[in-house]
Amino acid sequence: MSRREEVARLAGVSPRTVSNVVSGAVTVAPATRQRVLDAIERLDYRPSEIGRMLRKGRTGMIALVIPDIESPYFSELGSALTDAARRRGYTLVIEQTDGVRDRELELLARADTKAVFDGLIVNPLALTDEDLNRPTPRGRPIVLLGEETHPGFDHVHIDNFAAAQDAVRHLLGLGRTRILALGAQRKGHSSSSLRLAGFEAVIAESDATGSVEYVDSFSRASGAAAVERVLERGPAPDAIFCFSDVLALGALAALADAGVAVPDEVAVAGFDDVEDGRYVRPSLTTVSPAKDVIAEAAIDALHRRIEGDDSEPAHVLAPYRLVTRASTISGDRVGAPLRRTDR
């Protein structure tokens, strides 16, 4: 019944010889090889990947643990990671946590329990060091994305502090004086913290006044709601630095609804450089992290760990750049923003 046996019978050899032909590791007489290949062709035999997995103790699968694949930043990153993984011969499985700590924990435990993954790439939102250490005594390697610098793990990130500074300096350079930071979070989430720190550092050494608006999550709805609160409270800022593009997209919607002109009355900058931001009007000034570099570096680091590298944890700093578009730069150039800002 077993397919390999059938091939062997048809070719008049032992099952073992079929394996030898398939793997190519051992020398097989050309005549025999040909007979086996013909039989394989005739019977359409394919070696079972599961059998190989069992033998090798490897599955070739990597889990990507992120809050939410619907969010454009993560879907773009997920896409880049999927491609990078495939290039290295891995299959990427996307697991969504919705940013809930219990769910992040459950997934880590499950990933470890089922032992189906050769390694994990995790973008934690709410995990503590102990959380991360607990579920992998077995030693599935983990690479972290984002700013959670848990000790002992490889880590790929951009300089959120510097990037935030660049964005805020850009706003100051436009002559804005009342800057709102939108997207601080009450708990956890060090990306937010670092962006906030960058914001505050620049504000502190400037003449401008800064204010901070908190959100529960990075979403368009949160961004819009936050701006509504801010406008109601008054006086309105003349620039908003949003900690993510989806927040900024929500903010733009709320500003438009309130009849506030962007960028003339309020300049808006985001963070992530998602596709939507290029096509919203006014198009969105934003910090653009090199997502493909991040993806490549993460897969690369994980691959090395899977291959047994046990050197010190690596911390890869990926580049970013500030992309200025119409949401902060007004006027004459708005006619052809697509050409100017598209990559």
Partner DNA sequence: TCCGGCGTTTGCATCGAGGCAAGAACCGGC
Partner DNA sequence: GCCGGTTCTTGCCTCGATGCAAACGCCGGA
**Residues lying near DNA in the complex (CB under 7 A):** 1-4, 13-17, 19-20, 22-23, 25-33, 46-48, 50-52, 54-57
Q: Is the CB of 13 or the CB of 111 nearer to its own copies?
A: 111
Q: Is the CB of 76 or the CB of 265 nearer to its own copies?
A: 76
The partner in contact with residue 93, picked from its own copies, DNA, none with C-beta cut-offs of 5 to 8 angstroms by kind, is: its own copies
- Single-letter residue type at 15: P
The partner in contact with residue 331, picked from DNA, its own copies, none with C-beta cut-offs of 5 to 8 angstroms by kind, is: none
Contacting residues toward its own copies, per CB under 8 A: 44, 46, 48-51, 53-54, 59, 68-70, 72, 75-76, 78-79, 82-83, 91-96, 112-116, 137-138, 220-221, 224, 249-250, 252-253, 256-257, 275-276, 278-281, 283, 334-338, 342
Helices in 57-179 by DSSP H: which ranges? 72-87, 101-114, 129-133, 160-173
Burial-class residue 199 by CB neighbours within 10 Å (0-12, 13-18, 19+). buried
The partner in contact with residue 283, picked from DNA, its own copies, none with C-beta cut-offs of 5 to 8 angstroms by kind, is: its own copies
Q: Is the CB of 176 or the CB of 278 nearer to its own copies?
A: 278
CB of 1 to DNA, least distance (A): 5
Q: Is the CB of 30 or the CB of 173 nearer to DNA?
A: 30
CB of 50 to its own copies, least distance (A): 5
CB 229 within 8 A of CB 170: no
CB 319 within 8 A of CB 293: yes
Identify any residues that bridge with 271 across adjacent strands, giving them in sequence order.
287
Q: Is the CB of 101 or the CB of 110 nearer to DNA?
A: 110
CB of 136 to DNA, least distance (A): 16
Look at the chain and count its residues.
343
**Which tokens hold the place of 72?**
């454009």
The partner in contact with residue 114, picked from DNA, its own copies, none with C-beta cut-offs of 5 to 8 angstroms by kind, is: its own copies
Give first-to-last CA distance, the chain, whole Å: 56
CB of 161 to its own copies, least distance (A): 28
The partner in contact with residue 173, picked from DNA, its own copies, none with C-beta cut-offs of 5 to 8 angstroms by kind, is: none
The partner in contact with residue 15, picked from its own copies, DNA, none with C-beta cut-offs of 5 to 8 angstroms by kind, is: DNA
- Stretch (H or E) spanning 274: none
Q: Is the CB of 31 or the CB of 336 nearer to DNA?
A: 31
CB of 43 to DNA, least distance (A): 12
Backbone angles phi, psi at 72, to 5 degrees: -60, -35
Q: Is the CB of 200 or the CB of 265 nearer to its own copies?
A: 265
CB of 110 to its own copies, least distance (A): 10
- Single-letter residue type at 182: L
The partner in contact with residue 245, picked from its own copies, DNA, none with C-beta cut-offs of 5 to 8 angstroms by kind, is: none
Of the candidates 139, 91, 90, the residue with the CA atom closest to the CA atom of residue 115: 139
**Which tokens hold the place of 203?**
């504000």
Q: Is the CB of 100 or the CB of 115 nearer to its own copies?
A: 115
Long-range CB pairs of 87-92 (<8 Å, 24+ gap) are 87/299, 88/299, 88/300, 88/303, 89/60, 90/60, 90/61, 90/62, 90/118, 90/299, 90/303, 91/60, 91/61, 91/62, 92/61, 92/62, 92/63, 92/64
